[in-house]
Amino acid sequence: MRPPLTIVLVALPGLLLAAVGYLVHPGFLDASTARAWWTVHVYLVPVFPLISLALWALLRGVTGPVAGLARVAAYGFATFYTALDVLSGIGAGLVVEAGVPELAGRLFGVGDALGHAGVWMLLAAAVLTGLALLPRDGVRVLPGAAVLAVACFPFMTGHIFHPVGVLAMLLVATGSGLMAAVRRSPPLASGGTP
């Protein structure tokens, strides 16, 4: 069992994103919301990759090819989803604010493709993380991995928009937190102290 602070820190990215989706993320992009749209996405650029960082934290001390692939997939999520945020969030908001809304559709097209690739990577990372933790932590990690994997489906279509995307982020937080809660502490090295 992990300390409560570890569980909270691993769940925090999903909780933060759910709060932003519920409280401040505009529900649509037009001239009246453009400034708020691109501004919130500037602040979200460093937040989405924290989901990947949480998975890396869960994999701390775990070696082998499955854990390596889980880390690569988590990195892929951080990379591709950040690209979505920059193009569909910041870029599209700026062009709409500048009075060139016809360019927003092109930015959304590329951004959505990159975002979907990122969410597929997150799905792979969730499954691979569960499999990588299984030998050390047992089947207790599988419910958390399953919740995180299931979160990817509403995330794919709902970003962090209320209500679907907010639910997705709450599932990300829950899945990550459940996996953290059942992680066993790594064994002490010979001659080590507790």
- What does the mean pLDDT of the chain come to? 94
Measuring CA to CA, which residue among 155, 122, 42, 121 is closest to residue 88? 42
Measuring CA to CA, which residue among 147, 143, 138 is closest to residue 184? 138
What number of residues does the chain have? 194
Q: How confident is the model at residue 3 (pLDDT cuts 50, 70, 90)?
A: confident
On whether the CB atoms of residues 150 and 126 are closer than 8 A, the answer is no
Q: Cα 186 to chain center, whole Å?
A: 25
* Tens of pLDDT, residues 5-47: 889 999 999 999 999 999 999 999 999 999 999 999 999 999 9
Q: How confident is the model at residue 189 (pLDDT cuts 50, 70, 90)?
A: very low
Measuring CA to CA, which residue among 46, 48, 28 is closest to residue 37? 28
* Tens of pLDDT, residues 114-127: 999 999 999 999 99
C-alpha–C-alpha distance, residues 144 and 7, integer Å: 12
On whether the CB atoms of residues 88 and 34 are closer than 8 A, the answer is no
CA dihedral 116, 117, 119, 123 (to 10 degrees): 130
Q: How confident is the model at residue 186 (pLDDT cuts 50, 70, 90)?
A: low
On whether the CB atoms of residues 147 and 72 are closer than 8 A, the answer is no
* Tens of pLDDT, residues 55-73: 999 999 999 999 999 999 9
Measuring CA to CA, which residue among 107, 95, 89 is closest to residue 47? 89
* Residue 183 confidence (pLDDT): 86
* Tens of pLDDT, residues 141-155: 999 999 999 999 999
Residue 1 has pLDDT above 70, yes or no: no
Residue 2 has pLDDT above 70, yes or no: no
